[in-house]
Amino acid sequence: MQKTYVLDTNVLIQSPYALQSFEDNKVVLPIAVLEELDKLKSDDGDRGANARQSIRFLERLRQKGNLYEGVPIGSGGIIKIEPNFASVELPHGFKYESNDNRILKVCKGLMNRGEQVTLVTKDIIVRLKSQLLEISAEDFTTEQSPTYEEQYTGRIDVYAPDLKMNEFKENGLSLENIYTIDHESKVSVNPEYNQFLIIHSDLNEKKTMLGRYDGNKVVPLKNLNAEPFGVKPKNVGQRFLQEALMQDADMAPLVIVKGAAGTAKTFYSLAAGLQQTLEPESRIYRKILITRPNVQFDEEIGFLPGTEQEKIAPLLRPIIDNLEILVDLSEKERYKNENELRDKIDELFDRGIITAEAMNFIRGRSISYTYLIIDEAQNLTPKQIKGIVTRVGKGTKVVLLGDPQQIDNPLLDEKTNGLSYASEKMKGSPLCFQLTMLTTECMRSDLAYDAAKRM
C-alpha cells in the first residue's frame, strides 16, 4: 500500500532534496508550507538558499503537470500540494492561525480519507502535538547517524603476542596477530582505515604500544614524540590527536575530532596549526583559517554593526583563550602583563597567520594550502558540512571539532548534526582521520574533569 508523507517546512529548510527521498510513496506539501517557503526565499544563508532550491524543484514539477492533482517523479512516487481541510476540527487550545496546526489539519483530513499518513517534521513540539491527534510522526531520518554512544570513536583496544610486539616498531603488525577478547574468547579484528589502536601484550596487559591501521597492517605512529608549538601530549587521546593533526594535507586532508569540553580539541588543533604554519622547518600551510558557527550567526551577521571581524569577535573568544596559553606556555609568567599577551595574539591576526571568517563567507569557496579549523561543528547541518568539505582546495587540511552532545541548533540533535553525519560517512576513508576524546582525558582543570564524570 502506498504511504502518504506530509512534509513540514523545516525538513525542506534543512534538506531540500527530501522531496525526492520517499521512493514510490506520495509526498504532500500543505499550502502552509508553500507560504513559509515564500517568506524564507529572500533570506540570506542556508535557510534562504534551501527554500529557493525547494521552490525551483517544485517549479520544474509544475511544468510537467498539475501539482494539486499530483505529479509523478522518477522514483515512482508522487508529489502533491494540498490546499484543503481548513474545516477539520482540532482540540480546544489549538490556534487556527498557527501554520503547524494547519499542517496537522491536512494530516488529519488525509487520514479521514483513509490514507496511511506520516508527518515528517524536525520540530519536536509538532511531533508531540501529532501524538495527541493520533497522527504518526517522525523525524527526517535519511541523514541520521547512530546515537552518540554507538558512533565511531576512531580507536580500539586490542591484544597481540608479546613476541610480535617486540618487532612492532620495525615491521608493524598484521591483522592476524591482533585480537580482542569477548567472554574470554579471542575475536579477530577488522579495523577501519586510519583507526587508532592501543595494543596490549598478551603476557602483560600493562605493556602497551600505540598504532594505526594503514589499510594493510597496523603501523607505529609517526609523530609519537612530536611537541607541536611546545605542547606535550598528556594522555593517549592527545597522542592519537597529535598523530592526526601533524599528518600533512596529502595524507590526512580531513580530521574529525569529537569529545566533551576540556579534552583539548581546539587547543591541540591550534598548536598543530601554528607549528605547521609558523615554524620554518615544518611549514606547509599559508595560514590558519578559523570559523565557529553559531545558531543565529549566519542569519544575523549582516545586521550587526561594525566590520566583519568586529561582528565575529564575540564568537572567537574561546579561540583567544586557547591562544593566550599557546603564545606563552609559562603559567607563572603568562598573565603578568596582559597588554603584552594581547599584543602577541594581535600580531598573529595582523600578520595574517590566523584569520577568522563567518561561515557564510567560507562556504562555496575553494581554499588552498590552508589549515582550516571549524570549531563547534556539531551546530552545522549535514548540507553545510558537505558544502565545506567538498570544496576544499589543494594542500588544505580541514579539522572538524565539536561535541555532538552539546548542540544549540533547535533542529539538530546528536544523530542529525553535521559533525556526526561527516563522521559516519567518512568512516573508513583513507583520507580521513577520526578520534573521539574520552571524558577521562579532560585536561581543563580538576573541577572540569570531576564535573564531566558526575554530570
For 387-422, write each residue's pLDDT tens digit. Answer: 889 888 899 999 999 999 999 888 788 998 999 999
Q: Give me 227's grid cell.
A: 611537541
Residue 303, pLDDT above cutoff 60: no
Residues of the chain with CATH 3.40.50.300: 229-454
Task: List, in sequence order, every residue forming a beta bridge with 289; answer none if it has no partner.
Answer: 355, 372
Strand pairing class (78-82; 71-72): antiparallel
| 145 DSSP 8-state letter | P
> 283 near 455, Cβ under 8 Å?
no
Q: How far is CA 4 from CA 107, 135, 197, 385, 433, in A?
A: 9, 12, 47, 30, 41
> How does residue 298 score in pLDDT terms, banded at 50, 70 and 90?
very low
Residues of the chain with CATH 3.40.50.1010: 4-138
Amino acid, single-letter form, for residue 23: E
**255 CB burial (10 A radius; 0-12, 13-18, 19+):** buried
Q: Give me 391's grid cell.
A: 570544496
b/e per residue 350-382 (b: at least 16 CB within 10 A): eeebbebbbbbebbeeebeebbbbbbbbbbbbb
Residue 445, pLDDT above cutoff 80: no
> 380 near 406, Cβ under 8 Å?
no
> How does residue 299 score in pLDDT terms, banded at 50, 70 and 90?
very low
Residue 211 — φ and ψ, nearest 5°?
-145, 180
Which segments of 87-235 does DSSP mark as H helices, in order? 99-112, 124-132, 162-166, 168-171
Q: 4-138: what CATH class?
A: alpha beta
Which whole number is the average pLDDT over 303-315?
60
Helix (H) / strand (E) containing 446: helix 446-454
Q: Give me 454's grid cell.
A: 558526575
With a pLDDT cut of 90, the percent of the chain lying above it is 67
Q: How far is CA 362 from CA 158, 199, 290, 419, 423, in A?
A: 40, 40, 10, 17, 21
Q: Give me 436's grid cell.
A: 573521539
Residue 187 — φ and ψ, nearest 5°?
-125, 130
> 218 near 164, Cβ under 8 Å?
no
**CATH superfamily ID and name for 229-454:** P-loop containing nucleotide triphosphate hydrolases (3.40.50.300)
Query: What pLDDT does 150 receive?
Result: 93
Task: List, in sequence order, every residue forming a beta bridge with 218; answer none if it has no partner.
Answer: 173, 213
- Report the distance separating Cα 189 and Cα 263, nearest Å: 28
> pLDDT digits over 331-361, tens only?
666 666 788 888 989 999 999 999 988 777 6
The residue with greater pLDDT, 11 or 317, is 11
The residue with greater pLDDT, 302 or 429, is 429
What does pLDDT average to over the chain? 90
Which whole number is the average pLDDT over 55-66?
96
What residue ranges in 226-292 does DSSP mark as E strands? 254-258, 287-291
Q: Could you give the maximum distance between any two Cα atoms of the chain, in Å?
A: 79
> How does residue 46 score in pLDDT terms, banded at 50, 70 and 90?
confident
> pLDDT digits over 209-237, tens only?
999 999 999 999 999 989 999 999 999 99
Which whole number is the average pLDDT over 4-30?
94
Query: What pLDDT does 348 receive?
Result: 93
Residue 371 — φ and ψ, nearest 5°?
-95, 100
Lowest mean pLDDT among 84-98, 185-199, 243-257, 273-287: 84-98
